[in-house]
Amino acid sequence: MKWLTESDRWKHLVGGIIIGAGANTIYCASYAGIGVASALEFKDKQWGGKWDWIDWALTIGGVAIGYALRTGFLYIIK
């Protein structure tokens, strides 16, 4: 779990969860997640950093978790 606290990786995961939980369809979640994750990494690269695939994957993984939580919650209450 130490690698999760390294840099701002946990923020990528939490942000992805928020995006996924707010999306109505899997397509919206996927496109929004990929777009936001890519934009964040592009910003890092433009400011002299490097593209971090782990951060990118954590954002996408967070979107999947958030969407799964939303879908599961809606399934339970119906």
Q: Parse the chain into domains and list their residue ranges.
A: 8-77
Q: Which has more pLDDT, 51 or 2?
A: 51
pLDDT(6) > 80: no
Q: How far apart are CA 36 and CA 58, in angstroms?
A: 12
Q: HSE-up of 49 (CA within 13 Å, CB side)?
A: 12
- Look up residue 72 and give its two tokens: 């599961």
**DSSP secondary structure letter of residue 51:** -
Residue 12 CB neighbour total at 10 angstroms: 25
Average pLDDT across the chain, whole number: 92
3 state DSSP class of 52? coil
Q: Confidence band (pLDDT; 50, 70, 90) for 8?
A: confident
